[in-house]
Amino acid sequence: MVPHGAVEQKINEIYQVDQNEGPAAIVVGVPDSSKGEALVLLTSIDIKWRRSAREALQRGPAQSLDPQIIRRVEKIPLLGSGKTDFQRLQQLAMEAAK
């Protein structure tokens, strides 16, 4: 199982994300015929995948967990309760992986 939270935390550190307004980066796994799972990064921040970011992700608990797909979203979807809408995130990730 890929520790998605470790990737999200590392991205938040790299890009110095202030999470007071809610999550800015969520990693979702989608089926991949060759690897079993592909990582999709859904983010509300403008991420330019720099070499330094890739190198930072390859150290520590997020080792070798480089998202294969990055999709910019206006805002991370939330439920009426304020919790993350994982069903909608999965749908967005599947669309991005097509």
pLDDT digits (tens, 9 = 90+) for 20-67: 878 899 999 999 888 788 889 899 988 776 666 666 666 655 555 678
**Contact in structure between 7 and 70 (CB atoms under 8 Å):** no
pTM, to two decimals: 0.80
Residue 47 maps to which CATH number? 3.30.300.30
Residue 62 confidence (pLDDT):
52
Return all residues near 14 (Cβ < 8 A) that are at least 6 apart.
52, 53, 56, 57
pLDDT at 19 over 60: yes
Domain containing 35 equals: 4-97
Residue 94 confidence (pLDDT):
96
Number of domains in the chain: 1
**Contact in structure between 19 and 12 (CB atoms under 8 Å):** yes
pLDDT digits (tens, 9 = 90+) for 67-94: 888 899 999 999 999 999 999 999 999 9
In 1-98, which residue ranges form alpha helices assigned H by DSSP?
4-14, 51-57, 86-97
